[in-house]
Structure 1
Amino acid sequence: MSSSTPQTPAKSGWALAIATLAAILATLIVNTLSNLYPPQGRNIGEISNTILSGVLITPASYAFAIWGVIYVGLVAYGLYQLKPAQRQAAALQRVNVRLIVACVAQIIWVYLFTLQLFNLSVLAILAILFALIGAYLQVNSARSRVSRPYRWFAQIPLSVYLAWISVATIVNIASALYSSNWTGWGLSSAGWTVLMLIVGGLLAAIVALQRSDVAFTLVYVWAYSAIALRHLAAPTLWLTAAGLALSLLIILSIGRIRRRAPL
């Protein structure tokens, strides 16, 4: 296969391509409206900073600006996959089905979280996570080098989205446990936070080492750096988060040297 978009001839794909773009735009609109007109008077950020302020693994507020990057990437993908060559590619059609599922689950998650149904919101974010894992594996399934547009408009947006959702899943589960007054089986909240940081860091390290995925890894570095900055007064937490962020950069460098992967 040449260095072009991985494709297999399929149906024209117009309906699926339009549905994909519509799902992305609907998710963006719902997320925007939930911030401007939250159902119970508090948007997601306000809930995190008030009701869930004791969830230690939540990053500093500025970290959530990454949603702007995520939505720009998703809209770019939505437009990219409308092109004839892309919408007819069987691989991207499979990606689109999974992405639509993720978008629908994202909309459901927004309402569950803003309604403070935190336990149910875990189910929704897991649905997003699993759908995105499938989309990520599919969009990265080509064994030969892909075109630059495919990389920038398909692979990178899904890498960024999946990485942030994987971090958000950990935070969401911690939030649900916190809201349920979970006692931690005798382990302190700081201890559980360190454990969750390590688990998340190990997952990111596997992706960095095996796939040399710069976008995915840098999202984790961004999130862990924000967690470290939020807890500068707690040495155990900020040293763990900062140490893991630095370690991920080193592991990514090692992975790229081994694979000699292009940017």
Structure 2
Amino acid sequence: MNSKVLRFANVAAIIATIVINALANILPINGLDTGTISDSFPVRFVPAGYVFSIWGLIYLGLSAFAVYQALPKQANNPAIAKIGWWFVASCGFNSAWIFAWHYLQFPLTIVLIIGLLVSLIMIYRQLSSVRAEASTADRWLIHTPFSIYLGWATVATIANATIVLYDAGWRGGPLSDSVWTVILLVIGVCLAAFITLRQRDIAYNGVLLWAFIGIAVKQAAFPLVMNAAIVAAVAIALLIGLALIRSLPTQRRKAMA
């Protein structure tokens, strides 16, 4: 019975999240567009507008997960059991963040997005223990969607933090905005390297690559940021290549050496 309740809650949670996110820009909530609010802050760790289209991929993947986990054959799937109620929690943080953002409650947004990030980290950690035994369906419909979501939440949390600090009046002194952005990009590459060494997760790194290319495009008027973003993107592309090589069977790796 508890499993059935959880599976229903997962479906209801993603439907509610998608509806709230859609209405945020259709209405829009509080008369403000999500992207317009972000663009009102002159922070550098923000990618070009097209990069945010990744939300379509994220919600497609999460919807596929919700349908998959609701199938009777998945009632005893250990990967789904590992996730537990963390997915419902992540949807709650996501939806609450939308309202806080649109009503310009920026200190609250950082609390909520950290809650979202922690929820996704918990899901990722739980799934890590069953990743090696995952079926093809589990890899594409459970592991990959959450890797993509966690990758984007990582980028979004950093961006959200820079906006909250700017709104609070902090301008980065004694360092400039551009220098701080370079530091944040370095942190992003370090996270990608950590994930590569621990999980060989191509999907997670692919999201960071997508975001950093977008930052280079958006911040073309600031050479230091643009060049750093390009270098960071190249570094992550190399990490993705490393992850691909490490994912190959031992025999094929030896043949390539």
TM-score after normalising by structure 2: 0.92
Q: Which amino acid aligns with 1:36?
A: I
Whole-Å Cα distance in 2 between the matches of residues 71 and 218 of structure 1? 17
Does 1:145 pair with 2:150?
A: no
1:209-229 CA-to-partner distances (Å, cap 9, x unmatched) read 321111111100000000001
Kept after mapping to 1: 8 A contact 2:192/2:239: no
Structure 1 gaps, min length 5? 1-10
1:61-83 CA-to-partner distances (Å, cap 9, x unmatched) read 11000000000000000000012
Aligned to 2:20: 30
Aligned to 2:106: 118
Structure 1 position 90, deviation (Å): 4.4
Equivalent position to 2:236, from 237, 244, 248: 248
Q: Which amino acid aligns with 2:20?
A: V
Structure 1 position 259, deviation (Å): 4.0
Structure 2 gaps, min length 5? 250-257
Deviates more, 1:220-229 or 1:38-47: 38-47
Pairing 1:158-169 to 2, within 5 Å after superposition: 158-169=146-157
Does 1:208 pair with 2:215?
A: no
SS in 2 for 1:120: helix
Aligned to 2:36: 46
Pairing 1:58-97 to 2, within 5 Å after superposition: 58-97=46-85
Change (3 A) 1:93 1:145: closer
Structure 1 position 208, deviation (Å): 2.2
Deviates more, 1:229-238 or 1:153-162: 229-238
Structure 1 position 135, deviation (Å): 0.5
SS in 2 for 1:183: coil
Does 1:106 pair with 2:106?
A: no
1:43-96 CA-to-partner distances (Å, cap 9, x unmatched) read 2111112x22x0110110110000000000000000000122323234413314
Change (3 A) 1:143 1:132: closer
Does 1:257 pair with 2:245?
A: yes
CA RMSD between the two structures: 1.7
Change (3 A) 1:181 1:193: same
Whole-Å Cα distance in 2 between the matches of residues 27 and 96 of structure 1? 18
Whole-Å Cα distance in 1 between the matches of residues 16 and 7 of structure 2? 14
Structure 1 position 150, deviation (Å): 0.5
Change (3 A) 1:78 1:96: farther
1:127-169 CA-to-partner distances (Å, cap 9, x unmatched) read 0000000111212312633211100000000001110011000
Which structure features the higher share of helix residues?
Answer: 2
Aligned residues: 250
TM-score after normalising by structure 1: 0.90
Aligned to 2:6: 16
